[in-house]
Structure 1
Amino acid sequence: MDASHPVDPDGGPDPATGRATPGFRHEALVYDDVEQLTSIAAPWLLEGLSAGDAALIAVGPAATGPLRAAVGADPRVMVVERHALYRARTPTAITAFRRFAAEHAAPGHRVRVVGETDFGTSAADWREWQAYEAVVNVAFAPHPLWGLCVFDAALPEPVLASVRRTHPRLATATGRAPNAEFVDPASYLRALPVPEEPLEATRPALADDAITDYTGLRHAVRDLLGTVDGPPDVLEDFLMAVDEMTSNAVRHGTPPAGLRLWTAPGRLVATVRDSGSGLDDPFAGYGPAHGEDLSHGGMGLWLARQLCDHVAIRRDGRGVSVRLSTSWG
């Protein structure tokens, strides 16, 4: 994911075909009720359909019916259950939207998306999806998508504040305009605080603060997770994520590298640390490090973000740590 080459959202010629290649537009609409949402979003979708764009609706159940009815039965209108996108993990959502763009945008046109992010209920959920709204400004930059992200005005103020800081443009009943509160995505992500994890203040079930026997540690993690009463697929995913991050720290980080792992009913947390200053890219792990060519590796953090509910990177005077957490039940 490269933030150094922004794409003109109004498009430019494709050197290979000569056709316009419109890039990503990202707008926010804060609505008071479903009627207001529909009155703004439906004409915008219809305008796009008339111009040759496709449409995707992924909003809450109260708004899906009225919005779908308002745009009619055009076969280019796709309706996706909101949680299928926004309660998946963030890299999965990014991949899904890119796929919609690749499969449904006609040459020179976009897929117009009315999407309603589900920010979840915990501080960790909030952070994950706040980060997502900043990340997509870069992750979708070259893709023919036009996102109208809609947000209920009753959402908590910290969430609404993040909306204003992560969307370059705002949509209202009076039209569309640049958003003066928008913050450069990299700056926003670097300043986004990581919520506290209470388990980290307790004694870990497993700790190795200076790893010398990586293979032995991996077996110890597997043995520990084998005692945890949880869904086998969740435990296996967590083991794989811990293995990926520990391997990265040992092979590519600055020694000493360490691992601490906590278990609690329905919850797992692990912190992997090394003593260096790497992982400074705020977009790391939201896509493979080397793009679509997976043969070059660089997939560890990307895999971890797909295997765990939350991944948080922290830096301090002792080095860099990656915190992984997963819950069930």
Structure 2
Amino acid sequence: MSVLGTSGCALSGGREHRHDGLVCDGDEHLVRAAAPFLQAGLEAGEAAVIATTPRAAGALRDAVGSHPLLHVVDRAGAYQGRTPTAITSLRRLTDRYTGDGVPRVRVVGEVDFGATERHWLEWQRYESVVNEALAGRPLWGLCVFDARRLPAPLLDAALATHPALLEPGGAPADNPRFVDPADYLRDLPVPEEPLEATPPRLTALDVREFVGLRHALATELAGTRAHPDAVEDLLLAADEMVSNAVRHGAPPVSLRLWTAEDRIVCTIGDGGPGWDNAFAGYGPAHGDDLSRGGMGLWLARQLCDHVDISGGPGGDGVRVRLTVRLR
């Protein structure tokens, strides 16, 4: 076992979920491909949801026309800030509409990848993870990528993370560039953190319990400009990761803390045998049965802006790096 404990993603064995991509170069291209996709769903009695930029949503709504099963939702609400929350939002959206009796939900969505490569990485992970994390849900997602404004790495990610690509006219075609999600996630880099090359603000090299350590962490963070909510998020996430390491990992369990004007960084490591679950933390380990635990890494991913994991199977332990940005 390791610092991650049992916090993997509970994946369904079903394959009702579809996850297609559309790389387009303008509104006309978008409408020619996505409008027939939405119309086909409406004609089959399925719900159709648009969660794109306002401009794209307007073009699609005009093309499809008014329909009681067509819904335009706020993109920021559908893809809430952090990726596990976005996955939860899509699950709930699907459950809400299918609970009203529709057989399936079609979603045309457009992620806001953010302004930096560091933010891009979180959503690149998301685009691959949802192939498994939403498996079994009666959801057919169509992810829109605007070739006019997205950088090449994100367009490459679009091709690597979608099993099929939509053609003009709304027909999906198998994507030969699709990469198995587990392989794709393992190959994504763990970005360097410059703060780690500097002396930590707090170091604990052999953690056996968290009460005293939490007090020390809180004391250090009280001397920063961090908002109390950001401090509490980091404390809770670190608590979960240290608890997993102490309960399930091998000693020594360590913690290091760095602070800067724009972020807090905390690493937790253990001496366990390593880890090889690419989907860990994108859902509770035991699905909807939260009473069984397995929520540590899932909570950490929701509380922190970035969660980076290093240490593969057979390696020298596992390290989780938590980053909370100070806004």
Q: Same fold (TM over 0.5)?
A: yes
Which consecutive residues of structure 1, in runs of 5 or more, have no partner in the other structure?
A: 9-22
**Helix, strand or coil at the partner of 2:311:** strand
Cα RMSD over matched residues? 1.6
TM-score with structure 2 setting the length? 0.91
Q: What amino acid maps onto 1:121 in structure 2? A: A
Residue equivalent to 1:247: 243
Q: What amino acid maps onto 2:19 in structure 1? A: H
- Length, aligned pairs only: 314
Deviations 1:238-262 (A, max 9, x none): 1111111111112211100100111
TM-score with structure 1 setting the length? 0.91
**Helix, strand or coil at the partner of 1:28:** strand
Equivalent residue runs for 1:261-276 within 5 Å: 261-276=257-272
Task: Choose which of 108, 113, 117 in structure 2 pairs with 1:114.
Answer: 108
Partners of 1:228 and 1:245 in 2: CA distance? 22
Deviations 1:29-85 (A, max 9, x none): 001012211221112111110111101111112212111222222121221211223
Deviations 1:226-283 (A, max 9, x none): 2221221121111111111111112211100100111011211111000113442111
Task: Choose which of 180, 188, 195 in structure 1 pairs with 2:184.
Answer: 188
Task: Choose which of 220, 224, 230 in structure 2 pairs with 1:228.
Answer: 224
Partners of 2:290 and 2:46 in 1: CA distance? 31
Check the 8 A contact 1:169/1:179 in 2, yes or no. yes
Q: What amino acid maps onto 2:307 in structure 1? A: V
Larger RCO, structure (CA 8 Å, separation 6 or more): 2
Matched, 1:124 2:118: yes
Deviation >6 Å, runs of 4+: none
Equivalent residue runs for 1:1-329 within 5 Å: 1-2=9-10, 6-8=13-15, 23-105=16-98, 107=101, 109-154=103-148, 155-173=150-168, 175-212=171-208, 214-315=210-311, 317-329=315-327
Partners of 1:42 and 1:130 in 2: CA distance? 25
**Helix, strand or coil at the partner of 2:165:** strand
Which consecutive residues of structure 2, in runs of 5 or more, have no partner in the other structure?
A: 1-8
**Helix, strand or coil at the partner of 2:286:** coil
Q: What amino acid maps onto 2:318 in structure 1? A: V
**Helix, strand or coil at the partner of 1:121:** coil
Deviations 1:184-220 (A, max 9, x none): 1111111111111111111111111222453211110
Check the 8 A contact 1:127/1:194 in 2, yes or no. no
**Helix, strand or coil at the partner of 2:207:** coil
Partners of 1:269 and 1:86 in 2: CA distance? 24
Moved more, 84-93 or 158-167: 84-93
Deviation at 1:6? 4.2
Partners of 2:20 and 2:281 in 1: CA distance? 24
Deviation at 1:137? 0.7
**Helix, strand or coil at the partner of 1:114:** strand
Q: What amino acid maps onto 1:104 in structure 2? A: Y
Residue equivalent to 1:13: none
- Identity of paired residues, percent? 55
Moved more, 227-236 or 177-186: 227-236
Partners of 2:278 and 2:140 in 1: CA distance? 23
Partners of 2:261 and 2:282 in 1: CA distance? 29
Check the 8 A contact 2:251/2:271 in 1, yes or no. yes
**Helix, strand or coil at the partner of 1:323:** strand
